[in-house]
Chain A
């Protein structure tokens, strides 16, 4: 999910938008394995606060992460609209708990702007670009960076 400079060719870009920590984010549709309802997870001892636990996804053990907490936006309040977005990274998958899923968006890669040069390195690492849609800012998540913290930092 690279930001595009103006002269590079335009590709169609389809993504799923969702809200987390009262901000709107999206992940490219090819990175999403499935979206499922929240079900209780098995907590992991000594896990960082944003790791809720592990869940059984048809025989696979996948970690479930509170996206809002990982982004430093506070924990997600539990409600009926909560869903888990299972995302497939290069080597592993993880589930992200988000507040709610909004829609599928089809745009061109030219609509993705570079992340503005903000102060927070945390945010810059996790947000690969932004999309301006009407009045709303949609933050394109950098999935690899989000998942890297998993096997990397915990080791």
Chain B
């Protein structure tokens, strides 16, 4: 039983990869001037899913994959051209196929309506295919317009086909292949029996036959190669294009350009290149094993910190050899940790593909036409981050389509392309991952946001807010500008949920919006959740950690640079700029009174919304790598604290959230409010 389960698991794991390749292939098909080979690649993925599903008796899946395959087959044969409707059907079918795979995996019933809709869409597409339409072939050539135009002039190919034993063993039938070739045009085949040994030494089960085939056809070489696509590795195969004596009506330039395109085409092996879809060799590992390893490495780093601390306590002379060894140990531990974390890193591609589906579905529901442009799909992010990003991203993309983009009529009226563009991009920037979602819609309606916030009692009616403060109102709990609760967004889960999800990952989200041009959401995430570099600091006798990435510089302030502002606030003059000084201990409620900044150490950090801020702490004690432990899972969110870590002495130190700690007093617009405060109070406190 376990054996067959393992095979089944492998099948589904492969399905996942195949579906990924399928979506990617469809994406390529959508771009003008794509390689015609990608249609074949797409066909192969669907065919492989079908083949595997057949082996497991997943009839529903097989039936659907078969229909899907039929359509793809027509596309690659040129019986049908790729246009917008076809593309939509293809994407929809891919979605249904992936649903069917999911339900087969979980052994549940797929939503029959969805499956039926998928079948209907395919039927529709198949039925209006003009069979043997004289123009269809030209049309497909135009579609692949970056390719040299394959005018319908005959090509002659000489094929040498020598099947290996394995070809027969795998159940392939040479005569079926020959049949297919014979349907392509003028066909002639010779069977070479020279290799067949005399009966006296004949061994059963060995392949000895070689065919020499000549085909004259209007189809190009790829089409010929495709005939052999499933046996490519199971035979010796050469396909050679030869000049045709009666090749008079063809422009001479065409064979030339083909030859220039494929200089090795004279002996291209039939294992056709997969149009850039070839995956790198990978090793499939049980996730539990990786996680066990990661936990062990986490403990290793804590242990290393403990040993370092013990050694330090010995007060050895600085020349002691042990110090070097400890330093080496530290570096090794860090190397191991980075290597292990890299195992968990995954490209965001799969996530982006899922988002493409969300955009398609949302567009269909809202009657908008949308183009999703993705970039940076290869950016690697920790697996957990990817998993937990799915929900907030879904929400943001739905919002972008539903609220961000205008209706096609409005877009036309304002002189824009009716098709809205949504960009989704990922990139690495100095130790963090940036994900941007931008639309080219109307931008945020700040007047309406302000009005709504006032109506909901979130701010005072006479509050004087900057544009960015108004934008950030969107993130307040219970804020939703949608007048009607639509199917898609505005179910009461607003951007505050998105924001919470992002901050739970240790990330930040910010908005920028230009009226009439569009809105961009930027999500800034840490590369890994597990480990970070931090300053170990003391704050009112407590030991805490500040992420080094957040700190611009550290300052021992001079008395003359500190300026009182109003009754209670102090600012620091740094390079001609006054920035607020935040007393960390006071804001965390660890001290009842503020300490004069002159005797503090100031950490200059950049707050995403309010700019530079100086955090006043008592002392910086050390700089080290710390293992991040979530507080949310075991306790819940703590204002001003992002997570915790375990120090060398085994005690827990809290990790400061530098944004939130400033938010605790500077501006409440971006701050999840402490449970005891109501939003009105905080606003009233800060806005005047």
A residues within 8 Å of B by Cβ?
40-47, 51, 54-56, 59-63, 91-94, 150-155
A54 to B635, CA, bound (A): 9
* Given known contacts A56-B651, A92-B634, A45 and B646 CB-to-CB distance under 8 angstroms: no
Partner of A61 from the list B295, B644, B674 (CB cut-off 8 Å) is B644
- Chain A residues with CB under 8 Å of B674's CB are 46
A121 to B133, CA, bound (A): 79
* Given known contacts A54-B652, A61-B652, A63-B635, A43 and B675 CB-to-CB distance under 8 angstroms: no
Decide if B652 touches A55 in the complex (CB within 8 Å). Answer: yes
Decide if A154 touches B644 in the complex (CB within 8 Å). Answer: no
Decide if B635 touches A44 in the complex (CB within 8 Å). Answer: yes
Decide if A45 touches B590 in the complex (CB within 8 Å). Answer: yes
Decide if B652 touches A56 in the complex (CB within 8 Å). Answer: yes
Decide if A59 touches B542 in the complex (CB within 8 Å). Answer: no
Number of interface residues of B (CB under 8 A): 30
A150 to B295, CA, bound (A): 25
Decide if B634 touches A42 in the complex (CB within 8 Å). Answer: no
* Given known contacts A92-B633, A155-B637, A42 and B542 CB-to-CB distance under 8 angstroms: yes
* Given known contacts A93-B634, A150-B635, A154-B635, A42 and B302 CB-to-CB distance under 8 angstroms: no
* Interface status of B654 (Cβ within 8 A of chain A): yes
Pairs across A and B, CB under 8 Å, 8 listed? A42-B644, A43-B542, A45-B654, A46-B638, A56-B650, A60-B629, A61-B629, A154-B638
Enumerate B641-687 residues with CB–CB distance to A below 8 Å.
641, 644, 646, 650-654, 674-675
When C-beta atoms are compared, the residue in chain B nearest to A155 turns out to be B636
Decide if A61 touches B630 in the complex (CB within 8 Å). Answer: yes
- Name, among B542, B588, B636, B650, the residue most crowded by chain A CB atoms within 10 Å (CB to CB): B636
When C-beta atoms are compared, the residue in chain B nearest to A45 turns out to be B588
* Interface status of B589 (Cβ within 8 A of chain A): yes
* Min CB–CB distance A95 → chain B (angstroms): 10
- Chain B residues with CB under 8 Å of A154's CB are 635-638, 675
* Min CB–CB distance B628 → chain A (angstroms): 10
* Min CB–CB distance B674 → chain A (angstroms): 6
* Min CB–CB distance A67 → chain B (angstroms): 16
Decide if B636 touches A150 in the complex (CB within 8 Å). Answer: yes
Having A59-B629, A63-B635, A152-B636, one finds 15 other A-B pairs with CB under 8 Å, namely A40-B651, A41-B652, A42-B652, A44-B635, A45-B638, A54-B631, A55-B652, A56-B651, A59-B295, A61-B635, A61-B646, A63-B634, A92-B633, A154-B636, A154-B675
* Interface status of B404 (Cβ within 8 A of chain A): no
A42 to B643, CA, bound (A): 13
* Min CB–CB distance B652 → chain A (angstroms): 4
A86 to B589, CA, bound (A): 27
Partner of B634 from the list A41, A43, A59, A62 (CB cut-off 8 Å) is A62
Partner of B638 from the list A41, A47, A56, A91 (CB cut-off 8 Å) is A47
- Name, among A44, A55, A59, the residue most crowded by chain B CB atoms within 10 Å (CB to CB): A44
A51 to B639, CA, bound (A): 14
- Name, among A40, A42, A55, A94, the residue most crowded by chain B CB atoms within 10 Å (CB to CB): A42
* Min CB–CB distance A45 → chain B (angstroms): 4
A41 to B542, CA, bound (A): 11
Decide if A42 touches B651 in the complex (CB within 8 Å). Answer: yes
- Name, among A43, A55, A62, the residue most crowded by chain B CB atoms within 10 Å (CB to CB): A43
* Interface status of B298 (Cβ within 8 A of chain A): yes
- Chain B residues with CB under 8 Å of A51's CB are 635
Decide if A45 touches B640 in the complex (CB within 8 Å). Answer: yes
* Interface status of B299 (Cβ within 8 A of chain A): yes
* Min CB–CB distance B639 → chain A (angstroms): 5
When C-beta atoms are compared, the residue in chain A nearest to B653 turns out to be A42
* Interface status of B632 (Cβ within 8 A of chain A): yes
Decide if B644 touches A54 in the complex (CB within 8 Å). Answer: yes
- Chain B residues with CB under 8 Å of A152's CB are 636
Decide if A46 touches B639 in the complex (CB within 8 Å). Answer: yes
A150 to B638, CA, bound (A): 11
- Name, among A60, A61, A62, A92, the residue most crowded by chain B CB atoms within 10 Å (CB to CB): A61
A43 to B652, CA, bound (A): 9
When C-beta atoms are compared, the residue in chain A nearest to B539 turns out to be A45
A131 to B634, CA, bound (A): 30
Decide if B632 touches A151 in the complex (CB within 8 Å). Answer: yes
When C-beta atoms are compared, the residue in chain A nearest to B674 turns out to be A46
* Given known contacts A56-B652, A59-B298, A151 and B589 CB-to-CB distance under 8 angstroms: no
Decide if B634 touches A44 in the complex (CB within 8 Å). Answer: no
* Given known contacts A42-B653, A44-B654, A59 and B302 CB-to-CB distance under 8 angstroms: yes
Decide if A61 touches B650 in the complex (CB within 8 Å). Answer: no
* Given known contacts A54-B652, A61-B630, A44 and B638 CB-to-CB distance under 8 angstroms: yes
List 5 tightest A-B contacts by C-beta distance, closest first.
A154-B636, A45-B588, A42-B652, A63-B635, A61-B629
A29 to B160, CA, bound (A): 77
Residue interface bits B599-639, CB-to-A below 8 A is 1, else 0: 00000000000000000000000000000011111111111
A44 to B544, CA, bound (A): 11
- Chain B residues with CB under 8 Å of A153's CB are 636, 675
When C-beta atoms are compared, the residue in chain B nearest to A43 turns out to be B542
When C-beta atoms are compared, the residue in chain B nearest to A47 turns out to be B638
- Chain B residues with CB under 8 Å of A91's CB are 633
- Chain B residues with CB under 8 Å of A150's CB are 634-636
Decide if A61 touches B634 in the complex (CB within 8 Å). Answer: yes
When C-beta atoms are compared, the residue in chain B nearest to A53 turns out to be B652
- Chain A residues with CB under 8 Å of B542's CB are 42-43
- Chain A residues with CB under 8 Å of B653's CB are 42
- Name, among A56, A63, A153, the residue most crowded by chain B CB atoms within 10 Å (CB to CB): A56
Enumerate B485-517 residues with CB–CB distance to A below 8 Å.
none
- Chain A residues with CB under 8 Å of B639's CB are 45-46
When C-beta atoms are compared, the residue in chain A nearest to B633 turns out to be A92
- Chain A residues with CB under 8 Å of B650's CB are 56
* Min CB–CB distance A79 → chain B (angstroms): 22
A91 to B627, CA, bound (A): 22
When C-beta atoms are compared, the residue in chain B nearest to A40 turns out to be B651
Residue interface bits B295-311, CB-to-A below 8 A is 1, else 0: 10011001000000000
When C-beta atoms are compared, the residue in chain A nearest to B634 turns out to be A92
- Chain B residues with CB under 8 Å of A92's CB are 633-635
- Chain A residues with CB under 8 Å of B652's CB are 41-42, 54-56, 61
A56 to B646, CA, bound (A): 7
- Chain A residues with CB under 8 Å of B630's CB are 61
- Chain B residues with CB under 8 Å of A63's CB are 634-635
* Min CB–CB distance B645 → chain A (angstroms): 9
* Given known contacts A44-B641, A45-B588, A59-B299, A151 and B654 CB-to-CB distance under 8 angstroms: no
A46 to B638, CA, bound (A): 7
A60 to B651, CA, bound (A): 11
When C-beta atoms are compared, the residue in chain A nearest to B664 turns out to be A46
* Min CB–CB distance B177 → chain A (angstroms): 58
Decide if A151 touches B635 in the complex (CB within 8 Å). Answer: yes
When C-beta atoms are compared, the residue in chain A nearest to B652 turns out to be A42
When C-beta atoms are compared, the residue in chain B nearest to A152 turns out to be B636
A56 to B590, CA, bound (A): 21
A60 to B298, CA, bound (A): 11
* Min CB–CB distance A91 → chain B (angstroms): 8
- Chain B residues with CB under 8 Å of A155's CB are 636-637
When C-beta atoms are compared, the residue in chain A nearest to B632 turns out to be A151
